[in-house]
Amino acid sequence: MNKLILSLMVLLSFSLYAQDEDTVPELNAEGFESTPSVTEEAAEETVPDVTEEAASEVTEEAASDVTEESTPVVTEEETPVTPVVVPTQKDETISKTEIKEKSGFKATESHWYATFGFEAMEYLLPFSYSGAKETFPEEQRQLYGGRLGFGGEIYLGAGLMTSTRVEGYYLGTLFESAQTADPELEDETVATIKDAGQIYGADIVQTLSFIWELKTRNPLIDEMTYLTVEPFIEGGIGKAWAFNKKDYSYDTGVVVEEYDQSFNDELTNVKFGGGINFTSRQGFFFSLKVTQNRYDITKRRTKGYFYKDGDASAPVASDPSTDLDPVMVYSLGGGYKF
């Protein structure tokens, strides 16, 4: 039995020594198997060559992988975030301008309107007196006043506008007087002259105008603005009443003169005129106008007296002239359209 075991061990030892030396592991000092070292040639053979193109492809793939992983995926269940758009100053300006133009006055529409104006005119009066100190021939009396009107206008298209209005007016003059000295002094003269006059009436007026817009600078706020320019012609008819008077006295004790005469007139009026309006985008307008009035005196009443050179008092002529020249009226005014 022992011989059999011994023979087996010998056979085993021969088989172990018969193995390749490269395959026999090396043992370290502690008796453990050491890790085989890799030579530089083996390392070069083991690691494959990586070219620049392959490296760039790997980098791009890695970058795309990182982008895809870092980009959050919004599912249907998630609520998307609405971007907030901050309006620029230009957008705000345009928005305000559009709102202002939409809600503001538009010249190319029909409107109601009110007018006012300040006027001056001359009125012919047939005074007739000749004394030692004063003489009063026919007189063109200056009258000043105003006019108010209300009406409506219709836009016809192509820049044409027509309007109808009713207006009333009043013009008059102030009393004038002159006193030269103390009546008790015989060497000094004392004279008093008083003039009073007025005319008032109402007219129905029809106008035809053409409008266009003009861009100009506003001198008050130093900004560019738009004005609607509206030249126009007009015609009208109406009725008026006038009262005018002159009162003169001169008394020094030696020379005594007096003259007092008044006129009450009823008139019809036909007028033609033209002018220009400048209208803002708020509906306010400024107006310049010249009108020729052809007054016709339908009824004139006069009364008065005079005396001179120590003669007795005498009444004035009861049938004075009723002729009136065409009367030019100059008006400066404005109004509001709505």
Cα distance between residue 227 and residue 107, in whole Å: 10
Band of the pLDDT at 80, cuts 50, 70, 90?
Answer: low
Contacts of residue 242, Cβ cutoff 8 Å, sequence gap at least 6: 123, 197, 198, 199, 200, 263, 264, 265, 267
CB hemisphere CA count around 60 (13 angstroms): 6
Give the type of residue at 305. Y
Residue range 216-272, pLDDT digits in tens: 776 666 777 788 999 999 999 999 999 999 999 888 777 788 999 999 999 999 999
Band of the pLDDT at 74, cuts 50, 70, 90?
Answer: very low
Given CA atoms 292, 170, 238, 115 in this order, what sign does their dihedral have?
Answer: positive
Mean of pLDDT values over 61-69: 46
Cα distance between residue 245 and residue 225, in whole Å: 50
Contacts of residue 122, Cβ cutoff 8 Å, sequence gap at least 6: 140, 141, 142, 143, 327, 328
DSSP symbol at 21: G
Residue range 117-173, pLDDT digits in tens: 999 999 999 999 988 888 899 999 999 999 999 999 999 999 999 999 999 999 998
Tell how strand 135-136 and strand 212-218 pair up. unpaired
Band of the pLDDT at 107, cuts 50, 70, 90?
Answer: confident
CB hemisphere CA count around 22 (13 angstroms): 1
